[in-house]
Amino acid sequence: MELKGKQKRFLRAMGVTMDPILTIGKDGVSENTIVQADGALLARELIKGRVLPTAPAGVAETASEIAERSGADLVQVVGRNFLLYRPHPENPVIQLP
């Protein structure tokens, strides 16, 4: 599902107060990272992650890879942080405009 501008703004506003729960370090994007992201997206729908300076790839590439492999939408990349969204398959909690 491709997010529209208004929906991305809505999700970005929600993400401002969130703390990063996914941290990507020198090991990069591993299978364990994808499992963690998948579980967090299932529980929360919207998660924030941080890419440390020691990561092998840049922030945008890392965030895109995680989004693609976990089936999520990349909402935003700001500095070293990124925001991912994936609605719950049965009962979504976040109602997009």
**Cα distance between residue 68 and residue 56, in whole Å:** 18
What value does the mean pLDDT of the chain take?
A: 95
The per-residue pLDDT for range 45-76, each reduced to its tens digit, is 999 999 999 999 999 999 999 999 999 999 99
Amino acid at residue number 55: A
Is 47 in contact with 84 (CB distance < 8 Å)?
A: yes
Q: Spell out the domains of the chain, with CATH numbers in brackets.
A: 22-85 (3.30.110.60)
